C-alpha cells in the first residue's frame, strides 16, 4: 500500500496558523478532516491485511455517516451497541457486515434488530438462552462475550471491563456453571473487549489469558472478535504485535478474526473551533471563558478525564501566559484545563482543540440549553463545507412533543 504518513495532521502548526484555517466559521464548531480520516482508514486496512483480520468500525466512537462512503472501501463492516447504530450501519454502509453487542437486549426492539444485524453478540448465558434461538432462526451469526478477568489498564477504571464485579462478559466460572450443550450449539463465535487506547502488547497479554481460559472451546467456533481499544493509528503503535496476536489466535484453528476499533478510525481527525467570550482573574489564576463547553461538547474531557491538545498552546508555565479554559455553563467543573500561550488571550480570539472527532458528536448534549456545535467537513484541498447546523429546535424536541 506504500508509505503512509503517521504524523498527526497539523502537528507542527502554531496557534496563529491553526486559527487562520478555521477562523471564519461560526463557533463553536466541529471540523472533521477528510484527509486525516482517510489516512487512518488506510492504516487500518493495512493492519487488517497484514494480520489477516477483518476490520469493523465501532460506531460508538465515530458515527458521522456523511463520511461512511469515504471509509467503506477500507473496512469490512460496522459494530453497533444497539438498534439505532445497527440500523445506521446497515442503511449508510450498505453491503458491509453489521455486528451488534449490547449488555442486554430489549424484547420490544429485538425483532427490529434482526432486520439490520448480521452478527448478534450476547453478554450473558441467560440472554443467549432467551434470544439466541430467534437470532439463529433468522439466519444470524450468534456470539457470546467472554470476560477473561485480566486487566491491562491503568487509570481508566470506568473503561475497564475486567474490573472486579464487571457487568460485561461471561467469566469462565459462569461458563462452567451455566453452559449446556444445547446453549453451546447456538454459539458461532466468541467476543472479548478489554482494551482502551492501548498498544498491541496489551492485546498479546490478554490473548494469552483468553487462550488459557477459553482455548478449549475455540475449536468449536467459527470466529473470534477481539473487540476494540486498539490504538492502531497512533504514531508508534507496534503493528508487529498485532500481527502476532491474530496469527496466534488462528494457529491450528479455522477462525475468522475480527477487530472493532472505533477511536483509531478518527484519531486526530477532527477539531473543535471555539472563541474566547470573557477573561477574568481570580487571584493568581487567569480564566478564559469559551463558547465551547467541556461538559456539553467534549464530555470525555471530564469523563476520562483527559486534557485535549490545543494548537499554539503549551503546558501550564511553559509559555509566558497561562490561562484556565472553561465553558459557559453553570457547572463549576466545566473546565477543559490549564494552557499557556506566547501572548495574552483577548476576547474574540479563536482557539482550536485537536482530536475532537472521537466521542464528541456522538456524545455531546444540550445541558443548560447549550447549542450543539455545527459540523463541518474539511476536504483534502482545505475547503470547508457545512454538514449540519443545530438550533433551538434540536434542544426543544428532546424534551417533549414538537
The string of DSSP codes covering 54-86 is: EEEEETTT---GGGHHHHGGG-SEEEESSHHHH
Residue 5 lies in a domain: no
Work out the widest C-alpha separation in the chain, in whole angstroms: 69
Final residue before a domain boundary, out of 266, 291, 319 = 266
Same domain membership, residue 276 and residue 257: no
Strand residue runs (E) in 223-373:
223-225, 256-259, 270-282, 285-290, 321-326, 335-341, 350-354
Residue 3 lies in a domain: no
CATH code where residue 83 lies: 3.20.20.10
Final residue before a domain boundary, out of 218, 250, 266 = 266
pLDDT in tens, 296-340: 999 999 998 889 999 999 999 999 999 999 999 999 999 999 999
Same domain membership, residue 277 and residue 260: no
Residue 170 lies in a domain: yes
Residues whose CB falls within 8 Å of the CB of residue 293, separated by 6 or more in sequence, listed in order = 327, 328, 329, 334, 367, 368, 370
Mean predicted confidence (pLDDT) in 277-302: 97
pLDDT in tens, 328-387: 999 999 999 999 999 999 999 999 999 999 999 999 999 999 999 999 999 988 899 999
220 pLDDT exceeds 80? yes
State pTM to two decimals: 0.93
Same domain membership, residue 311 and residue 209: no
The tally of domains found in the chain comes to 2
**Residue numbers of the domain that contains 309:** 15-32+269-396
β-partners of residue 198 are 230
pLDDT in tens, 54-67: 999 999 999 999 99
Same domain membership, residue 241 and residue 275: no
Same domain membership, residue 113 and residue 154: yes
Same domain membership, residue 191 and residue 60: yes
Same domain membership, residue 284 and residue 227: no
Same domain membership, residue 294 and residue 279: yes
Residue 38 lies in a domain: no
CATH code where residue 315 lies: 2.40.37.10
Same domain membership, residue 253 and residue 226: yes
Same domain membership, residue 238 and residue 274: no
Residue 37 lies in a domain: no
Mean predicted confidence (pLDDT) in 1-27: 56
Residue 344 lies in a domain: yes
Determine the Cα–Cα distance for residues 174 and 178; give it in Å rounded to an integer.
6
Q: What is residue 1's predicted lDDT score, i.e. its pLDDT?
A: 30
Same domain membership, residue 24 and residue 103: no
Residue 44 lies in a domain: no
Residue 180 lies in a domain: yes
Same domain membership, residue 173 and residue 25: no
Final residue before a domain boundary, out of 266, 290, 318 = 266
Amino acid at each position: 500500500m506504500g508509505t503512509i504518513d503517521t504524523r498527526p495532521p497539523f502537528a507542527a502548526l502554531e496557534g496563529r496558523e491553526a486559527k487562520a484555517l478555521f477562523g471564519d466559521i461560526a463557533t463553536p464548531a466541529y471540523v472533521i478532516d477528510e484527509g486525516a480520516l482517510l489516512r487512518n482508514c488506510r492504516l487500518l486496512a493495512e493492519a487488517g491485511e497484514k494480520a489477516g483480520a477483518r476490520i469493523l468500525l465501532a460506531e460508538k466512537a465515530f458515527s458521522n455517516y456523511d463520511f461512511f462512503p469515504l471509509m467503506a472501501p477500507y473496512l469490512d463492516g460496522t459494530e453497533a451497541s444497539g438498534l439505532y447504530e445497527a440500523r445506521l450501519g446497515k442503511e449508510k454502509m450498505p453491503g458491509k457486515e453489521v455486528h451488534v453487542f449490547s449488555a442486554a437486549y430489549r424484547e420490544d426492539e429485538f425483532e427490529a434488530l434482526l432486520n439490520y444485524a448480521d452478527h448478534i453478540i450476547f453478554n450473558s448465558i441467560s440472554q443467549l438462552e432467551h434470544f439466541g434461538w430467534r437470532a439463529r432462526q433468522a439466519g444470524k451469526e450468534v456470539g457470546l462475550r467472554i470476560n477473561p478477568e485480566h486487566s491491562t489498564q491503568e487509570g481508566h477504571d470506568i473503561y475497564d471491563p475486567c474490573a472486579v464485579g464487571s457487568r460485561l462478559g461471561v467469566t469462565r466460572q459462569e461458563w462452567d456453571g451455566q453452559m449446556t450443550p444445547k446453549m453451546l450449539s447456538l454459539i458461532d463465535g466468541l467476543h472479548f473487549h478489554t482494551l482502551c487506547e492501548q498498544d498491541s502488547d496489551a492485546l498479546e497479554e490478554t490473548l494469552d489469558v483468553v487462550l488459557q481460559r477459553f482455548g478449549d472451546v475455540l475449536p468449536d467456533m467459527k470466529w473470534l472478535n477481539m473487540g476494540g481499544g486498539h490504538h492502531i493509528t497512533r504514531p508508534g503503535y507496534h503493528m508487529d504485535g498485532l500481527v502476532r496476536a491474530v496469527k496466534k489466535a488462528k494457529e491450528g484453528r479455522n477462525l475468522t478474526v475480527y477487530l472493532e476499533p472505533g477511536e483509531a478510525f478518527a484519531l486526530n481527525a477532527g477539531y473543535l473551533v471555539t472563541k474566547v467570550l470573557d477573561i477574568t482573574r481570580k487571584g493568581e489564576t487567569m480564566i478564559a471563558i469559551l463558547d465551547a463547553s467541556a461538559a456539553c461538547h467534549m464530555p470525555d474531557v471530564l469523563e476520562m478525564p483527559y486534557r485535549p491538545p490545543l494548537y499554539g498552546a503549551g503546558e501550564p508555565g511553559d509559555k509566558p501566559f497561562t490561562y484556565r479554559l472553561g465553558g459557559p455553563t453553570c457547572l463549576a467543573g466545566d473546565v477543559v484545563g490549564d494552557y499557556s500561550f506566547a501572548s495574552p488571550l483577548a476576547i474574540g480570539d479563536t482557539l482550536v482543540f485537536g482530536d475532537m472527532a472521537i466521542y464528541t458528536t456522538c456524545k455531546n448534549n444540550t445541558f443548560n440549553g447549550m447549542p450543539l456545535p455545527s459540523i463541518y467537513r474539511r476536504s483534502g484541498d482545505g475547503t470547508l463545507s457545512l454538514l449540519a447546523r443545530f438550533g433551538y429546535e434540536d434542544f426543544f424536541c428532546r424534551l417533549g412533543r414538537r
